A and B are shown apart, each in its own frame.
Chain A
Amino acid sequence: MRGRRRLAFRAIVIAVAAAAVVAAAVGYLRTVDVPVLEPKGTVGLQELHLILFAAGLSLLVVVPVYALAITFAVRYREGNARARYEPGLEANTRVEVVWWGIPTLLIVVLSVVTWTSSQALDPYRPLSSSARPLTVQVVALDWKWLFIYPDQHIAAVNQLVVPTGTPVKLLITADAPMNAFWIPQLGSQIYAMPGMQAQLNLDATTPGAYTGLSANLSGIGFSSMSFETRCTSQAGFQSWIATVRASPSRLDESTYAALAVPAVNPRVSYYIDDATGLFDSILAKEQMMAAPASAADPPPLPGAVAARADP
């Protein structure tokens, strides 16, 4: 009986402690941003729904496991002489079929969801929208981000400005070690690799300023590779374009060469881009770099080899 009371006492202590910790955590999280759980774009929102669905489905396994583990541990503890002891019990086909079967069913369900969501949320898939998509070319540099707006003929360092409600098609590469482009509020990250062009389609539904960052280690300045993502109205976007166009700097070869020098550079800067095809030449340069130049060599590839063709 004493053992029992001690057990109950311990259970209460553990439950109270756990509740206190959870309450403190929830209380704290209400005071800060939790980007993945508070998405500001359709991609991030769908991904949040998937996260909640998968977590919910998992409860169907977690709850029985916890319940069985705690029940059996308490009931069949050595001190409990009243519990039945069956030293020969070693198999039961029926129950084993159940616990091969139920997880299999859950995984079948989740597999279907996986298949469809992988298609629907494929980063390369253009978002369906009546608005004309905005194309932005993204270059991960040591240790800063360069955003080129080929249709607006402008470029910005460490600042990405997009209008809300407009699909954004990001073409992403690196002139640096591999990085990963990630704006948690908008959803989906993708690797930025030198010599390769990845594609990411996102949009923003709510105006605001969100932090984007590199999610893959790229050297000493890696942690400083955050950039501001400003999601604004169409009018705000147009006025931002005008601001950038007023910049005295042009994104020519020498400006780019200076930008590409490895340095921690958290500042925002603006450039006029004279449609020099800089993005394509960065891709081509990375592919050809270190290859011996000779007359017999084929000319550099036009454009670049994409990591894969568009769907």
Chain B
Amino acid sequence: MIAPDIFGRLTWNALFPSELVTQVAVVSLGLVVLAVLALVTRMHRWGWLWREWLTTLDPKRIGVMYIIVAILMLVRGGVDVLLMRAQQATSVGTSQGVVSTSTFQQLFSAHGTIMIFFVAMGLMFGLINLIVPLQIGARDVAFPFLNATSFWLFFTGMLIINASLGIGEFSAAGWLAYPPLSELQYSPGVGVDYWIWSLEIAGVGSLLSGINFFVTILRMRCPGMSLMKMPMFSWSVLCSMFMVMFAFPVLTVTLTLLFLDRSIGTHFFTAGGGGNMMMYVNLIWAWGHPEVYILVLPAFGIFSEVVATFSRKPLFGYASMVMALLAITLLSFTVWLHHFFTMGAGADVNAFFGIMTMIIAIPTGVKVFNWLATMYRGRIRFSAPMHFFMGFIGLFTIGGVAGVMLAVPAIDYQLHNSLFLVAHFHTMIVSGVLFGDFAGVIYWMPKIFGFRLHERSLRWSFWCWFVGFVLAFGPLYILGFMGMTRRTSHYAVATGWQPLLIVAGLGVLLIATGVAIMLVQLAWSVWKRAENADSTGDPWDGRTLEWSTSSPAPAYNFAVTPVVQSRDAFWASKQAARRGALAPARVYTDIHLPRNTGVGPVIGALSFILGFAVIWHIYWAAAVALVVLILVVVIRTTGTDDSERTIAAAEVALAEAGGEVSRRVA
């Protein structure tokens, strides 16, 4: 006889969401997944998918998978936004809006979590995977298998958060789940557990990636590339990964403590019993503030590459830029308290953290001026990435001003938790992080796939994003002054908020149009890839090493390991060639690359079972998954060393002469 609790808290009822919106979401998500599965089956692509993609250890392919997940999640998080905006625009006076309060609270909790962890982080790690090894003249990352594992943990976190849509519920405690609201007493359901385990698993993936790329950049640069000759994107990634290594363990521990509170009755953050919610708030922001810079520094790096390339000039003030990066990196760990000036800390403490926060504005301002100086006396091509850069300058400056204002504790007392704050951080993250990552994807796309995207529609998309952003967030700044707090699901007519919220909703529709144009354009560009093909490998007249190899970049990145003498090494070599200097003779040698492995997806699947089982208190399944997981990792990491494949020198020579190297697992 089966014990009734063999499935823990999971009951048949949990599978049927009660609200129409959720039902529609689940059904449409299910249909999309089914359609994709059917398509793959019909086209007999399962073998190809498994061999070429799911089991790959090639960072470029892993990067592509990160970006695909991020784009899907951008759509998911975007649908959340549409519903939130619809709710706030209509839930006034006697009208209760389009969704229930419970759903609304799950929507904003999911929106924040998904956009940060699965869109911003996904785009960032995707681009890092795509470009960092190429940019530093390396054939691979330091730990290729670990890299695949990171991706699959990220993917699993994404699956868990989306599973909450159809099975049970998601957290309604906000994207950072402050206790005691997120404690068992006030949130007894599975929602907060979904939140914890999605981030716990994805967060471990991020930490492993952080270590991996930090080591990759420090140890695997090509001969001649001293740190001060390294391209600025790689520099920014180095700084970002340093922060990942120090910040993400804090997140993992904090989530674990919250989980222990909820599962075995500890009292780390509870109300009463010796718990202290202020400790949680400190810890989560000790991760959360560096996280902002973890996301934005690589985007700054992308802008540095884009501005230099499209201005046809070297980046202005390279040494200044590096100093600014290092300053931001260190300062980012000294400002977390500014997220809760209103918690009652002493005036001296608040003032200290306020001033530390403002100091960050100095290196950030220097970076902006250096980018502008890079444009000075350049020959600027306003291609789509440059559009996003100009949009970034326009919006980020305003967001920065709002940030400096909020850094004054006495101003924050009046604007904290208001929509002014919401508008501020969206300005920083959308114009800083998203615009940067979009510019990066557009800029580096030809390198990865060998064709350019459709320029004109990208510009249209940019204008939709830019104007839409102003319309969507301008009203929010004003609503903050009008006393509207974030996460409000219902308000009175007399507040006068409704017209502004309707404008904000229209702005979001415009942004959604921008996203739609992007997606259609992407499909169109893939369809018409032959027309936009780039045979040169260097479609933008680039400056850094990634443009020196063919497009799409071969699995081994460089047939012959490059040797550099200066910054902007590829630009310098093109100049030298123009002056008639002879390129060094190319001597091919055997290339060793890691063999593909299915262990990554297996680790992902096991972590999914582990996370899902813990969420629903199916402890036997969690225990089994954990034991198997440990066994798999131990066997993989101690097993016989057949993990490499060799591409013979002759084969490389053939490929470089125009053939295609088999990506087959030899």
- The answer on A and B forming one complex is yes
Interface of A toward B, CB cutoff 8 Å: 21, 25, 28-29, 31-37, 44, 46-48, 50-51, 54-55, 58, 61-62, 65-66, 68-69, 72-73, 76-78, 83-92, 95-96, 99-100, 103-104, 107, 110-111, 113-115, 117-125, 177-178, 180, 182, 184-185, 187-191, 193-196, 198-199, 211, 213-224, 226, 285-291, 307-308, 311
Interface size on B, residues (CB 8 A): 98
Interface flag for B68 (CB, 8 Å): no
> For A107, what are the chain B residues with a Cβ–Cβ distance below 8 Å?
355, 358-359, 361-362
Interface flag for B621 (CB, 8 Å): no
> For A50, what are the chain B residues with a Cβ–Cβ distance below 8 Å?
408, 410-411
Query: Is the pair B404, A223 in contact by a Cβ cutoff of 8 Å?
Result: no
Please give 10 more A-B residue pairs, beta carbons under 8 A apart, in addition to A66-B397, A99-B366, A103-B365.
Answer: A35-B483, A66-B394, A100-B366, A122-B347, A125-B347, A177-B186, A184-B482, A190-B413, A222-B487, A308-B344
Query: Is the pair A114, B355 in contact by a Cβ cutoff of 8 Å?
Result: yes
> For B105, what are the chain A residues with a Cβ–Cβ distance below 8 Å?
217, 220
- Sample of 7 A–B contacts (CB below 8 Å): A35-B481, A65-B397, A100-B362, A107-B361, A117-B409, A217-B178, A217-B487
A291 touches which of B272, B345, B416 (Cβ 8 Å): B272
Of B313, B413, B491, the most chain A CB neighbours within 10 A belong to B413
Query: Is the pair A290, B273 in contact by a Cβ cutoff of 8 Å?
Result: yes
- Nearest 4 A/B pairs, CB to CB: A289-B272, A32-B496, A184-B483, A290-B273
> For A188, what are the chain B residues with a Cβ–Cβ distance below 8 Å?
342, 410, 413-414
A25 touches which of B390, B417, B478 (Cβ 8 Å): B478
> For B348, what are the chain A residues with a Cβ–Cβ distance below 8 Å?
118-119
Q: Which residue of A lies closest to B315 (CB)?
A: A90
Of A48, A76, A77, A218, the most chain B CB neighbours within 10 A belong to A76
Q: Which residue of B lies closest to A44 (CB)?
A: B414
Q: Which residue of A lies closest to B567 (CB)?
A: A90
Q: Which residue of B lies closest to A24 (CB)?
A: B503
Of B474, B483, B492, B500, the most chain A CB neighbours within 10 A belong to B483
Give complex CA distance A179, B565 in Å: 59
With A78-B381, A213-B485: A89-B405 Cβ-Cβ less than 8 Å: no
Interface flag for B596 (CB, 8 Å): no
> For A191, what are the chain B residues with a Cβ–Cβ distance below 8 Å?
340, 342-344
Query: Is the pair B271, A110 in contact by a Cβ cutoff of 8 Å?
Result: no
Of B359, B368, B369, B474, the most chain A CB neighbours within 10 A belong to B369
A118 touches which of B178, B319, B347, B418 (Cβ 8 Å): B347
> For B277, what are the chain A residues with a Cβ–Cβ distance below 8 Å?
178, 193-194
CB distance from B16 to the nearest CB of A (A): 21
Query: Is the pair A118, B410 in contact by a Cβ cutoff of 8 Å?
Result: yes
Query: Is the pair A223, B375 in contact by a Cβ cutoff of 8 Å?
Result: no
CB distance from B470 to the nearest CB of A (A): 8
Query: Is the pair A195, B358 in contact by a Cβ cutoff of 8 Å?
Result: no
Query: Is the pair A123, B413 in contact by a Cβ cutoff of 8 Å?
Result: yes
Query: Is the pair A308, B345 in contact by a Cβ cutoff of 8 Å?
Result: yes
Query: Is the pair B410, A291 in contact by a Cβ cutoff of 8 Å?
Result: no
Interface flag for B480 (CB, 8 Å): yes
Query: Is the pair A87, B312 in contact by a Cβ cutoff of 8 Å?
Result: yes
Query: Is the pair B354, A65 in contact by a Cβ cutoff of 8 Å?
Result: no
CB distance from B229 to the nearest CB of A (A): 13
CB distance from B88 to the nearest CB of A (A): 10
A187 touches which of B380, B414, B474 (Cβ 8 Å): B414
A223 touches which of B320, B368, B491, B499 (Cβ 8 Å): B491
Chain B positions 453 through 493: 1 when the CB is less than 8 Å from some CB of chain A, otherwise 0 = 00000000000000000100010001011110111111110
Query: Is the pair B354, A118 in contact by a Cβ cutoff of 8 Å?
Result: yes
Query: Is the pair B482, A36 in contact by a Cβ cutoff of 8 Å?
Result: yes
Query: Is the pair B365, A311 in contact by a Cβ cutoff of 8 Å?
Result: no
Q: Which residue of B lies closest to A102 (CB)?
A: B365
Of A29, A90, A217, A288, the most chain B CB neighbours within 10 A belong to A217
With A54-B405, A114-B354: A223-B267 Cβ-Cβ less than 8 Å: no
Query: Is the pair A198, B405 in contact by a Cβ cutoff of 8 Å?
Result: no
With A90-B314, A191-B342: A62-B401 Cβ-Cβ less than 8 Å: yes
> For A104, what are the chain B residues with a Cβ–Cβ distance below 8 Å?
362
Query: Is the pair B101, A215 in contact by a Cβ cutoff of 8 Å?
Result: no
Give complex CA distance A180, B474 in Å: 25
CB distance from B313 to the nearest CB of A (A): 6
Interface flag for B376 (CB, 8 Å): yes
> For B319, what are the chain A residues with a Cβ–Cβ distance below 8 Å?
91
> For B390, what are the chain A residues with a Cβ–Cβ distance below 8 Å?
69, 73
Give complex CA distance A110, B319 in Å: 27
With A118-B347, A188-B414: A25-B377 Cβ-Cβ less than 8 Å: no
Query: Is the pair B351, A65 in contact by a Cβ cutoff of 8 Å?
Result: no
Query: Is the pair A36, B415 in contact by a Cβ cutoff of 8 Å?
Result: yes
CB distance from A148 to the nearest CB of B (A): 19
* 166-182 of chain B: CB within 8 A of chain A: 172-174, 178-181
Give complex CA distance A196, B272 in Å: 10
With A61-B397, A178-B180, A190-B344: A291-B414 Cβ-Cβ less than 8 Å: no
> For B487, what are the chain A residues with a Cβ–Cβ distance below 8 Å?
217, 222-223
CB distance from B331 to the nearest CB of A (A): 12
Give complex CA distance A61, B102 in Å: 43
Chain B positions 177 through 215: 1 when the CB is less than 8 Å from some CB of chain A, otherwise 0 = 011110000100000000000000000000000000000
> For A289, what are the chain B residues with a Cβ–Cβ distance below 8 Å?
271-273
A115 touches which of B355, B369, B414 (Cβ 8 Å): B355
CB distance from A239 to the nearest CB of B (A): 26
Give complex CA distance A58, B407 in Å: 13
Query: Is the pair A189, B273 in contact by a Cβ cutoff of 8 Å?
Result: no
A178 touches which of B178, B362, B366, B409 (Cβ 8 Å): B178
Query: Is the pair A114, B409 in contact by a Cβ cutoff of 8 Å?
Result: yes
> For A177, what are the chain B residues with a Cβ–Cβ distance below 8 Å?
178-181, 186, 271
Query: Is the pair B405, A290 in contact by a Cβ cutoff of 8 Å?
Result: no
* 517-534 of chain B: CB within 8 A of chain A: none
Give complex CA distance A114, B404 in Å: 11
CB distance from A277 to the nearest CB of B (A): 18
Q: Which residue of B lies closest to A213 (CB)?
A: B485
